[in-house]
C-alpha cells in the first residue's frame, strides 16, 4: 500500500472564486497519477491521468499539474460553480491504484 | 451514465447469509476491479481481473470470493461476513491490459453497492 495524501480534507469556496488543493505521493517508482471527481450518490468520474513530470492537463475550468520528482500534484478549479461541489480523489500507481482520502469541495452560491 | 452497472445498490445481510454482488461493464474493457470503501477511509483495492484472469488479490479474507466469467461481468460472492465488512463496494473497469510496472488508463466506476452486515 502506497501512501497517498490529500490536503486539505475539505474546503468551502464562494461561487466564482478559484481554489486549488494538493495530492502527495511517493516520488520513487512513478507510474501514473489519476484524478477523479466523486459527486454524492454518483460514480467516481475520471478527470485526468498524468504520466509525465511537468505535465499539465485541463478540462474546462479544472486543471492539474504534476511534479514527479518531488511527489505532488495540484488540482485547480477556476471560477468555482455549485456543480463543482464534489470529493476529488487522487490515485497513484500502475494498475494497482492507491487512493488518497480525497478533498471535499463545497461551493457556496 | 458511466457504462458500469452494479446490483444491488443496497444490501443488508446477516453474518450467516450468503449473497453476491454483480458488476457489468458495457464498455468493451479488458480489466475489472473490486474496491472497498469503509467509513472515513480511502478507496482500497481488493481484486483485479485481466482478460478474466485474477491478477491481484490484495490480501482479502477468503469470505470474499470474486468470480469473473467473462470480460464484461464480475461478481463478488459474500459469505459469513462480519459487521466490520459493512462498506461501499465499488466495481471499475479499464481498457488497458493490466501489466506490472506499467501505467493504467483511467478507470470507469460503477455506482457501488452499500453493504450493511448485521
pLDDT one-digit tens code per residue, A62-78: 999 999 999 999 999 99
| pLDDT for the residue B96 | 73
A98 and B45 within 8 Å at the Cβ level: the answer is: yes
> Shortest CB distance from A95 goes to which of B90, B99, B108?
B99
To test the contact with chain B by mutation, choose from A2, A5, A39, A43 the residue with the greatest count of B C-beta atoms within 10 A, namely A43
A49 and B44 within 8 Å at the Cβ level: the answer is: no
Q: Residue A100 is placed in which grid cell?
A: 488518497
pLDDT one-digit tens code per residue, A9-38: 999 999 999 999 999 999 888 889 999 999
> What percent of chain A shows pLDDT beyond 70?
99
Q: A with B: how many residue pairs have Cβ under 8 Å apart?
A: 71
B75, HSE (Cβ side, Cα atoms, 13 Å): 10
| pLDDT for the residue B98 | 63
| pLDDT for the residue A73 | 98
Contact status, residue A85 vs residue A77, Cβ threshold 8 Å: no
| pLDDT for the residue B101 | 57
The chain B residues in contact with chain A (CB within 8 A) are 2, 4, 31, 40-45, 48, 50, 55-56, 58, 90, 92, 94, 96, 98-112
Task: Give dist(CA A85, CA B40) in Å, integer.
Answer: 18
Chain B contact for A11, CB < 8 A? no
| Cα B10 versus chain centre, distance | 14
Cell 454482488, residue?
Answer: B21
pLDDT one-digit tens code per residue, B1-59: 559 999 999 999 999 999 999 999 999 998 999 999 999 899 999 999 988 888 888 88
Cα–Cα distances in Å, from B11 out to A55, B18, B113? 42, 11, 7
| pLDDT for the residue A18 | 98
A99 and B105 within 8 Å at the Cβ level: the answer is: no
Task: Give dist(CA B21, CA A75) in Å, integer.
Answer: 34
Q: For residue A20, give the nearest of A33, A32, A6 by alpha carbon.
A: A6
B55 contact residues in A (CB cutoff 8 A): 95
Contact status, residue B98 vs residue B104, Cβ threshold 8 Å: yes
Amino acid at each position: 500500500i502506497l501512501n497517498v495524501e490529500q490536503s486539505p480534507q475539505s474546503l468551502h469556496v464562494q461561487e466564482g472564486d478559484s481554489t486549488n488543493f494538493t495530492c502527495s505521493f511517493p516520488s520513487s517508482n512513478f507510474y501514473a497519477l489519476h484524478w477523479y471527481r466523486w459527486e454524492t450518490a454518483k460514480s467516481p468520474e475520471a478527470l485526468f491521468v498524468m504520466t509525465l513530470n511537468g505535465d499539465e492537463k485541463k478540462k474546462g475550468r479544472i486543471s492539474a499539474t504534476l511534479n514527479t520528482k518531488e511527489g505532488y500534484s495540484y488540482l485547480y478549479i477556476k471560477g468555482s460553480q455549485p456543480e463543482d461541489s464534489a470529493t476529488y480523489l487522487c490515485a497513484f500507481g500502475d494498475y494497482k491504484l492507491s487512493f488518497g482520502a480525497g478533498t471535499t469541495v463545497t461551493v457556496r452560491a | 451514465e458511466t457504462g458500469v452497472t452494479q446490483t444491488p445498490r443496497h444490501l443488508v445481510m446477516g453474518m450467516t447469509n450468503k449473497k453476491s454482488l454483480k458488476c457489468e461493464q458495457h464498455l468493451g474493457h479488458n480489466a475489472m476491479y473490486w474496491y472497498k470503501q469503509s467509513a472515513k477511509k480511502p478507496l482500497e483495492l481488493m481484486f483485479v481481473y485481466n482478460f478474466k484472469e485474477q491478477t491481484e488479490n490484495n490480501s482479502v479474507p477468503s469470505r470474499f470470493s470474486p468470480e469473473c466469467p467473462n470480460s464484461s461481468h464480475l461478481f463478488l460472492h459474500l459469505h459469513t461476513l462480519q459487521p466490520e465488512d459493512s462498506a461501499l463496494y465499488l466495481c471499475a473497469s479499464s481498457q488497458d491490459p493490466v501489466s506490472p510496472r506499467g501505467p493504467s488508463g483511467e478507470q470507469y466506476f460503477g455506482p457501488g453497492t452499500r453493504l450493511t452486515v448485521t
